[in-house]
Chains A and B, each alone.
Chain A
Amino acid sequence: MSDIKIRIKNLSKIFGARPESVLKYVEQGMDKEQLLEKHQHILGLHDINLALENKNIEVIMGLSGSGKSTLIRHINRLIEPTAGSIEVDGEDVLKMNSKQLRHFRQSKTAMVFQKFALMPHHTVIDNAGFGLKMQGKDKAFIDEHARKWLDRVGLTGFENHYPAQLSGGMQQRVGLARALACDADILMMDEAFSALDPLIRSDMQDLLLELQQELHKTIVFITHDLDEALKIGDRIAILNGGRLVQHGSPQEILLNPADDYVERFVADVNRTQVLLAKSIMVDEKPQDQTQSVTCQEDETVHTVLHTLLSEDGSYVVVEDSEGRKVGYIDKETLADTVFQSEQKSAA
């Protein structure tokens, strides 16, 4: 089930005139500020080890300057690393010559950008077909697929508009259609929804999740927004100052933050919206309970609470997707979880 699509090993990136010459200081543990002050080099990434699973939505999260956009650009080598290696499907990206690299970028990866990065002089349909054109597909094929994907992202009727005539949300739909049309395994989204209004951002997140349901791509999603990360991520990698602090499922990150930084980061999150029934359920059936309600293991605590209250149950039976009983949640546990969540948010 969990095969690795992208494996990043010991990846470091230093920006400056002579990155190799200062790499040793970083290896000795010098941090970003010192490196800048003493050696006038900027530490982009330090010793990143990350295995991204096939067909997952892997979120890479961090504040600005944490190196997340730098990291994603290493996957298709838009940025050359100072040290380390990147393997995609077991193939070393760094060993590719320029022709192989171009072929890799055309067929294996597709990218969606924060500032959309559409071609302003091309119409919407030509933009959507851009990746296919680079692949050298013929005109009819490009036209058919570009149309199909524009339709999927809800832009039918706008084929002959120019990007400047569209709103930001619509432009990003074009960006998404352009990336999806390539039929690449890996979809790289660099803060793809960050520049959009909250409502439109939420729509786009839903659209992405809906598409992923049937496409099963490996999506590398960069964001600085924790709510977004928790909403769409199967797993989340948190970067701080160019270092990877934690990599795990949203549950793991909320329940076991790796350090203070992550803990402060997740403090404001409404846990009941993220924690799932399966992460708080117990094996033992509660005593003296009469009225039970049923829920799925993948439902959030918030939903479970709602079900319990509205159906006036006294405990919850948790089932997996095939309807087997996998655990129980009693009222006290539920109440404690909600209470702790409120307390953490307040603190």
Chain B
Amino acid sequence: MEFLEEFPSMGRSDLRDLKKMIDGGFREFTRSYGEAIEGFFDPLLGFMVWFEKLLLSTPWPIIILIIGGIAWLGSKSIKVTVGSVLSFLVIGYFGMWEDLMSTLAIISVATVLCISLGIPLGVMMARSNRVQAVVTPVLDIMQTIPAFVYLIPVVMLLGIGKVPGLIAVSIYAIPPIVRLTNLGIRLVEKEALEAADAFGASYLQKLFGVQIPLALPNIFAGINQTIMMALSMVVIASMIGVAGLGVPVLRAISNQYLALGLMNGLAIVALAIIFDRVSQSYGTRIQKHRQGGDHV
């Protein structure tokens, strides 16, 4: 009966040895390669520090102007533009300007990183079913594994700071752009591709002239999701030393400051809404050609 009541697990000491072995192995790896890996990321760190400083040292009216300009160029909507500018002004007025700039810095860098890695990966997945079969479960793991779990090895390897924060954010945020690039390219009309083939297009001509342009709406949905997911990682990233709106939230949790938590939390929400509206309306605008609106 003992067999049924107690799950036949492996011996306690064996288990301990196994864990020790893995920990030891990774620690060994960290000791021998940690510095090299850190060195590899140094240029990235340098860039992030420079970019954050740039945002912080630029006079706020200029930042507001740039934000307004980007919002206008992206959405071509007065409502979205005015909303974005107002949100930034209000957040700044409530004393969160510097944290806002720090958050903006890491989100921008993370988004650019995710796009520049994610789109090529998505393209490769769309090209080969084998690549898709390998990458899909990896993306599933990246999206579902609790963030704290992969924070452990990242912190062991790189310590705390901007770079591990960026990596943590990117691991969580990159899957949507990869998935939607893959999906978008696979959904491109077979007829258009066949026509390109019939007129003698090369692989690259098809990719850049037909597949990616026609997949853009999906790719943009992916970019939008990636930004949203990066923003949702702001608080967790602040646990490993990334400055920004997440830090006060963390402080608010440990000290039960309701107002502080709420304000910074809402600032993150405002940022998310701005990014979402601007990128979505840009995404819709670039597929104007799909509307048969003024039929002749």
A and B form one complex: yes
Q: How far is the CA of A259 from the CA of B41 in the complex (A)?
A: 77
Which stretch (B44-52, B190-198, B221-229) binds chain A?
Answer: B190-198
Q: How far is the CA of A116 from the CA of B295 in the complex (A)?
A: 17
Contacts A113-B195, A121-B214 given; does A134 touch B201 at CB 8 Å: yes
What residues on B are CB-neighbors of A167 within 8 Å?
Answer: 295-296
Q: A45 interface residue, CB < 8 Å from B?
A: no
A175's closest neighbor in chain B, by CB? B195
Indicate if the CB atoms of A78 and B198 lie closer than 8 Å.
yes
Q: B294 interface residue, CB < 8 Å from A?
A: yes
Which residues of B come within 8 Å of A, CB atoms?
189, 191-192, 194-202, 205, 209-210, 213-214, 287-296
Indicate if the CB atoms of A102 and B195 lie closer than 8 Å.
no
Among B199, B214, B290, B295, contact of A182 (Cβ-Cβ < 8 Å)? B199
Min C-beta distance of A322 to chain B, whole Å = 41
Contact code string A154-176 (vs B, CB < 8 Å = 1, else 0): 00001001111111001000000
A-B interface, 7 closest residue pairs, ranked by CB to CB distance from nearest: A106-B200, A105-B200, A117-B195, A117-B191, A162-B289, A111-B198, A164-B292
Indicate if the CB atoms of A111 and B289 lie closer than 8 Å.
no
Min C-beta distance of B261 to chain A, whole Å = 46
Q: How far is the CA of A110 from the CA of B209 in the complex (A)?
A: 19
Contacts A119-B192, A121-B289, A164-B289 given; does A158 touch B197 at CB 8 Å: no
What residues on A are CB-neighbors of B291 within 8 Å?
Answer: 164
Indicate if the CB atoms of B199 and A131 lie closer than 8 Å.
yes
Indicate if the CB atoms of A166 and B289 lie closer than 8 Å.
no
Indicate if the CB atoms of A121 and B194 lie closer than 8 Å.
no
Which residues of A come within 8 Å of B, CB atoms?
76, 78, 101-107, 109-111, 113, 115-121, 130-131, 134-135, 158, 161-167, 170, 178, 182, 188
Q: How far is the CA of A109 from the CA of B196 in the complex (A)?
A: 13
What residues on B are CB-neighbors of A105 within 8 Å?
Answer: 197-200
Q: How far is the CA of A13 from the CA of B272 in the complex (A)?
A: 55
Among A109, A165, A182, contact of B293 (Cβ-Cβ < 8 Å)? A165
Among B194, B200, B288, contact of A134 (Cβ-Cβ < 8 Å)? B200
Which applies to chain B's interface (DSSP): helix, strand, loop or mixed? helix
Contacts A161-B296, A164-B291, A165-B295 given; does A113 touch B194 at CB 8 Å: yes
Contacts A102-B200, A121-B214, A121-B289 given; does A170 touch B296 at CB 8 Å: yes
- Counted as pairs of residues, one from A and one from B, with CB atoms less than 8 Å apart, the total is 84
Min C-beta distance of B168 to chain A, whole Å = 37
Contacts A121-B214, A165-B294 given; does A115 touch B289 at CB 8 Å: no
Q: How far is the CA of A103 from the CA of B199 in the complex (A)?
A: 9
Min C-beta distance of A161 to chain B, whole Å = 7
Indicate if the CB atoms of A117 and B202 lie closer than 8 Å.
no
Q: How far is the CA of A101 from the CA of B194 in the complex (A)?
A: 14
What residues on A are CB-neighbors of B197 within 8 Å?
Answer: 78, 105
Q: How far is the CA of A170 from the CA of B296 in the complex (A)?
A: 9
Among A106, A116, A164, contact of B199 (Cβ-Cβ < 8 Å)? A106
9 new A-B contacts at CB < 8 Å, known A113-B195, A134-B199: A105-B197, A113-B194, A115-B191, A117-B189, A117-B192, A117-B195, A119-B192, A120-B189, A165-B296
A162's closest neighbor in chain B, by CB? B289
Among A120, A134, A166, contact of B290 (Cβ-Cβ < 8 Å)? A120
User: What are 11 inter-chain pairs, A to B, with CB distance below 8 A?
Assistant: A105-B199, A113-B191, A113-B198, A118-B195, A119-B209, A120-B214, A121-B289, A134-B201, A135-B200, A162-B288, A167-B296
